Structure 1
Amino acid sequence: MYKFKLIDKVSLILVIIGAINWGLIGLFNFNLVDALFGQPTNLIGRIIYILIGVSGVDMLMLLFKTKKL
């Protein structure tokens, strides 16, 4: 069984936050990241979006790692 590393756990949390944010956008047209950190033109908001995107790639790699086991 694959043991989750710290980076995998952090990535999973960020992907969940991203999924909840997209759900809120789809259901209520409410962007949680923008509400908390400002519009994407704000540096902090852009960094959050970048981290969530990188986390998605990490979760994709995790999927392939666990399939090999």
Structure 2
Amino acid sequence: MNNKAMDCTALTLTIIGAVNWGLIGFFNFNLVAFLFGSMSWLSRIIYALVGLCGLYLISFYMKTGRVDA
């Protein structure tokens, strides 16, 4: 089943998470905590969504080897 909107949303959220990790690693700056508060309910939801999107994107590995007819 091809769900392009979900794929794009998951990829966007995962990229946001990766950028946040890069900011933490290089500059010790947590963008999510800065914008939404340190471990507030909203920041916890964002972290959870990014994690779920990362797990969802594991399915992309299965898609890369598949040939669509």
Q: TM-score, normalised by structure 2?
A: 0.86
- Deviation by residue 1:14-39 (Cα, 9 ceiling, x = unmatched): 01000000000000000000001111
Larger of the two Rg values belongs to structure: 2
Bigger RCO of structures 1 and 2 (CA < 8 A, at least 6 apart): 1
Number of residue pairs matched by the alignment: 66
SS at match of 1:68: coil
Match of 2:60 in 1: 62
Q: CA RMSD in A?
A: 1.3
| Structure 2: stretches of 5+ with no match in the other structure | none
- Following superposition, which runs of at least 4 residues in structure 1 exceed 3 angstroms of deviation? none
Q: How much identity, in percent, do the aligned residues show? A: 48
Matched to 2:58, the amino acid is: L
Q: TM-score, normalised by structure 1?
A: 0.86
